[in-house]
Structure 1
């Protein structure tokens, strides 16, 4: 008989099983929308408090369907099944709930490896509309947020840039468009970088040659990666990136090559702080001589910049 740490046992409850493994917010919200649109009930589980250390950041989420299938993570994998049981009971009862695991929790048999504690808010979804609104904004490469108020058990979309945290009695979770890599260059290095980036789950844009449409595609969630062996071919891309403010601009070449690049940009009227945004030579470790090592170096640099951006 299915058992939950609330002490309730109910033959109607299913045994939770992961539908698939992901921590991508878009995939998690789509899973919830698809469940609701197909007539299934579902609950949204959100990490709303952290005591000490935790494997996931505040705002991490998972979705649980009424058949026990779930996706997403709120820890390193040690509480997801237990949280799914709680979500199934919330669905069955129609009442939202809060549950604690680890430090400060009554469940001594569930210990977080990090030694900390987490609090989860479990909300039975009443409508797909807030989730669809977030997904629509992300599809348009616009930031969005969800606001959940435990007192009213209400979930709503925030159609604006949102910083995850508690505000006026509600938890707000920020969502950002997926990172897209705009890779320029007809080279082995460009091919290796695109292949590795795709395997890592990045959205890939490979405009080659550069076009006006590509300039429109650059936004603040774009990493512009220049892997030409020709400074003149870089210039149209750099000019477009100058005004679009991507979070990352990196360029291939030696220190000497970058010195020539800097001078060309000064001649075009660039300010020093604008030129300083270009990470060159590209990558986190110098003198990567083979394409695969360079690709790994580039993607690690992109990931580090993005992470620092999120923490800023």
Structure 2
């Protein structure tokens, strides 16, 4: 999701509350070779500070000028930019294109109450849509169910009516990996590149050593306690890799009781059959148990930790995007 890793709404609210004034610029439509996705944002303060990006450099200057003029005013402005082939080449694009940018002053076109509600929802990891009428003044937040397909695909954009812009605010994707094993060492950096916030959970200090997982959040607690503390939701994938029922089973039970979009467990077909028997004995229904992807990963004939990690990430992505 464009902007989900960026704190543009939060920054706009901070600058507004600090009395600097704030304007949010959002890419609402693109054609051709646009450098930034729809939903990308930039925030400009009345003091001339700016954060974020709407184009990768080719129209930022013009947007800042327009934004500065709107600080403290009421109206929003819709800017249309054509990027010529020459300009596009200068900023590293193969060909030209067009970008439409919605520029909204906080406290004017963008009501402070709506921005506060958006920031609160993002902090609570709640999926919401910011809906703006490009031809009028209406601004509101909508539940993800109202635009389910957009949320599933993380796709902001203008509706078919040509005037309703829907900005998808999905919480960051998370992957919680139980078991700091060889496959995890390959999976963690791959998942991070694919846009997940990754946490490794393993109560065994020798396995979860920082040297084995550089720049990674490592939780040295029992998996069920760790998962409860971290919280599980519909933007979370859980992957268990320890092969040890004492560690995997508590994590699986916790994940089955939550809304996680993916639960995958390492182990052979025979290992999984024993796991299913234990879960059934513990009171889980066949429907619940069927949510488990096991053996973990797409069947691509993977051999070795790296290839198994590729198969896991592929299956996680398939589950996320195809439902």
Residues 132, 288 of structure 1: alpha-carbon distance in 2 compared, 3 angstrom cutoff: farther
Of 39, 59, 79, the residue aligned with 1:59 is 39
In 2, Cα distance between equivalents of 1:117 and 1:224: 40
Say whether residues 1:234 and 2:234 are aligned partners: no
Q: Which runs of 5+ in 2 are unaligned?
A: 148-155, 202-218
Q: Which runs of 5+ in 1 are unaligned?
A: 1-21
**What is the count of residue pairs matched by the alignment?**
284
Say whether residues 1:289 and 2:304 are aligned partners: yes
Residues 193, 128 of structure 1: alpha-carbon distance in 2 compared, 3 angstrom cutoff: farther
User: Any residues of structure 2 matched to 1:74-153 within 5 Å, and which?
Assistant: 74-91=54-71, 95-102=75-82, 110-111=87-88, 113=94, 115-126=96-107, 127-153=111-137
Structure 1 length-normalised TM: 0.71
Of 23, 36, 61, the residue aligned with 1:43 is 23
Of 209, 227, 244, the residue aligned with 2:222 is 209
Distance apart, 1:273 and its partner CA: 8.6
- What SS does structure 1 have at the residue aligned with 2:39? coil
Distance apart, 1:222 and its partner CA: 0.7
Do 2:178 and 2:242's aligned partners in 1 also have CA atoms closer than 8 Å?
Answer: yes
Deviations 1:98-130 (A, max 9, x none): 12223xx7x786446454422111111114432
Do 2:39 and 2:167's aligned partners in 1 also have CA atoms closer than 8 Å?
Answer: yes
CA RMSD after TM alignment: 3.9
Structure 2 length-normalised TM: 0.69
Do 2:176 and 2:237's aligned partners in 1 also have CA atoms closer than 8 Å?
Answer: yes
In 1, Cα distance between equivalents of 2:42 and 2:276: 46
Distance apart, 1:189 and its partner CA: 4.6
